[in-house]
Structure 1
Amino acid sequence: MILVLGASSYVGKHIYAYLGGTEAMGTHNKNPLPHTVHFDSARMCIPELGLRPNEVSHAFICFGETRMDECKTNADQSYELNVSRTKRVIDDLVSANIKPIFFSSDYVFDGTKGNYSENDAPNPITAYGAHKYEVERYLSDHYSDYLILRLSKIIGSESGDGRLPSIWHQQIQRGEEVCCDDEQSFSPIHIEDVVAAATAAVKLDLSGLFNLGGGESVTRVELFRRLRFILAVDTNLTRCSISDFDFEDNRPLDISLDSRKILAATNLEFKSIDSSCREFADSVSKDQPKAKTRT
């Protein structure tokens, strides 16, 4: 069985839904999810879940504070959750003979190079990235059997999921002008590809560090233009600088990832950006009013 810690998170709920209740046990804290059990990493330890010996082989660690600026402005609380509690959970898992699977981030890099491979040295310039890198180092310094999956920005195909491209589509529906920065490059990956790679890694019992990003490096301007073309809508796009946004923390400029290692290990093929946008367009066309089309 697979343990999904934080099954009510965006990544966690998709992994848990894919595996199903017969293959996975899910936990939640503040946001209950059907058929999952309560687990508060601040007050509970893994043995309190009552797992039988050898019942669980792997555990996805999906809880944490993922809001970049919150990690900066609420430094102590976010560090406690993202680093201190995560380390304690890792220790508990290893003691129970359960392989920890940690989701890291492209934000461990400073963004000066781009196309980062697993061999490139991290140098985080954000609090969030520093949290992720500290846990990466904790795993590699203390244990030999673990899995780290470094995620790029995740995109989805569901309306209202709080991700891109849904956020932009809602702005389009409201007739709003969309403002995107044309400075930060990243490798967007579809949530279904994250789930496919993560679960394949479990089945293959992969260990070590793997990047998990899509095959294309784009800015938000390029991503929005491709979505707009596929949706065939007329929406004004304003190109902005990162400095135009009121961010509390830094934003690295080129955090694109080289993910050939995970593709070679799993024989998977990730969705292209255009196919992801087409899936989203097909999804929203079924149940939402159509935006103004080009004439």
Structure 2
Amino acid sequence: MGAIKTLIIGASGMLGSDLCKVFPDAIKLAHKNLDITDREQVIESVLKTKPDIVINAAAYTNVDGCEDNQELAFQVNGSGPGYIAEACSIVGAKLVHFSTDYVFDGSKKEHMESDVPSPINVYGDSKLLGEKKIIENINDYRIVRISWLFGIHGENFVETMLRSSGEMDTVKVVNDQFGKPTYTMDLACKIREIIDLNPRIYHITNDGICSWYEFAFSIIDNVTPCTSEEFPRKAKRPKYSVLVNTKTEPMRHWREALKAYLQERNI
């Protein structure tokens, strides 16, 4: 038996960058190396590398942008994962793929892995299509639903708050949407465990629930709460996008993760 060969797709993104730290020997493909919406290119790349494990962190994650670019959203978040799953099936590789809390409509305060998805925006619709395409094309998959990501290597809510705090006297943040902030490094480390678990859907987030305002207040002082109606966005957001993890041991609380993030940022 040789060493296990891992391929990371979407290696230059916020999550992908931390996955590269956790899996330093992995083959790393960024968007410039691989367009996951090109089926032939995807299959050719996977056949060429012959990995044992493929971790797909490539996605179109601009929630409001997905409303304006629906075709692109469904290609990247829907069709692309299906092509990756097809390629993994050909070479006999395990697939780890990241989905989202936004596959749910937020009508329940908490969502378990077994709950029936019902997206309310294009981003959620496109990510749900990706889940379905994976399940259609491969049996050996681990679909990991995640939420409210923040990490060193990309634009995220924490960075937006830090920047806004310096630019505005008061920063308004909605206090009627609830979820679980998740540190990309904690998530990346957790994937080592997920790889060895049974094929299925997993909910993986940092522990603890908060509103966007509560999250913001833990980052900056000059923040004030507002309603979603006061802060309209192009894409409708679920009121509750709390993912319940029933399959693995919980990760540390988001407040601890945020502290580690800010320390890494030297703040």
1:279 to 224, 248, 260: 260
Q: Secondary structure, in 3 states, of the residue corresponding to 1:104?
A: strand
* Residues 101-110 or 141-150, more deviating: 141-150
Q: Which runs of 5+ in 2 are unaligned?
A: none
**Residue in 1 aligned with 2:165?**
172
Residue identity (%): 20
Indicate if the aligned counterparts of 2:107 and 2:238 stay in contact, CA closer than 8 A: yes
Matched, 1:5 2:9: yes
Matched, 1:51 2:43: no
Q: 1:27 to 1:274 in 2, by over 3 A?
A: same
Larger Rg belongs to: 1
Matched, 1:91 2:91: no
Q: 1:217 to 1:40 in 2, by over 3 A?
A: same
Residue identity matched to 1:7: A
Residue identity matched to 2:172: C
Deviation for aligned residue 1:171? 2.3
- 1:133-170 superposed Cα distances (whole Å, 9 cap, x missing partner): 122223334432211000011123x4x84223222122
Deviation for aligned residue 1:49? 5.4
Q: Secondary structure, in 3 states, of the residue corresponding to 1:247?
A: coil
Matched, 1:80 2:88: no
- TM-score under structure 1 length normalisation: 0.81
Residue identity matched to 1:217: I
Residue identity matched to 1:189: T
Q: State the alpha-carbon separation in 2 of the partners of residues 217 and 93 from structure 1.
A: 35
Q: Secondary structure, in 3 states, of the residue corresponding to 2:236?
A: coil
1:14 to 18, 25, 36: 18
Matched, 1:256 2:246: no
Q: Secondary structure, in 3 states, of the residue corresponding to 1:258?
A: coil
Q: State the alpha-carbon separation in 1 of the partners of residues 47 and 262 from structure 2.
A: 44
Q: State the alpha-carbon separation in 2 of the partners of residues 103 and 200 from structure 1.
A: 15
Q: 1:281 to 1:140 in 2, by over 3 A?
A: closer
CA RMSD of aligned residues (A): 2.1
Residue identity matched to 1:25: I
Matched, 1:210 2:196: no
**Residue in 2 aligned with 1:291?**
none
Deviation for aligned residue 1:212? 1.0
Q: 1:221 to 1:45 in 2, by over 3 A?
A: closer
Deviation for aligned residue 1:243? 2.5
Q: Which runs of 5+ in 1 are unaligned?
A: 31-37, 229-234, 264-268, 289-295
Q: State the alpha-carbon separation in 1 of the partners of residues 206 and 76 from structure 2.
A: 28
Q: 1:261 to 1:50 in 2, by over 3 A?
A: closer
Matched, 1:67 2:62: yes
Q: State the alpha-carbon separation in 2 of the partners of residues 56 and 76 from structure 1.
A: 30
1:107 to 99, 102, 106: 102
- TM-score under structure 2 length normalisation: 0.89
Residue identity matched to 1:27: L
What is the aligned residue count? Answer: 261
Q: 1:155 to 1:29 in 2, by over 3 A?
A: closer
Deviation for aligned residue 1:85? 2.5
Q: 1:226 to 1:77 in 2, by over 3 A?
A: closer
Q: State the alpha-carbon separation in 1 of the partners of residues 137 and 155 from structure 2.
A: 36
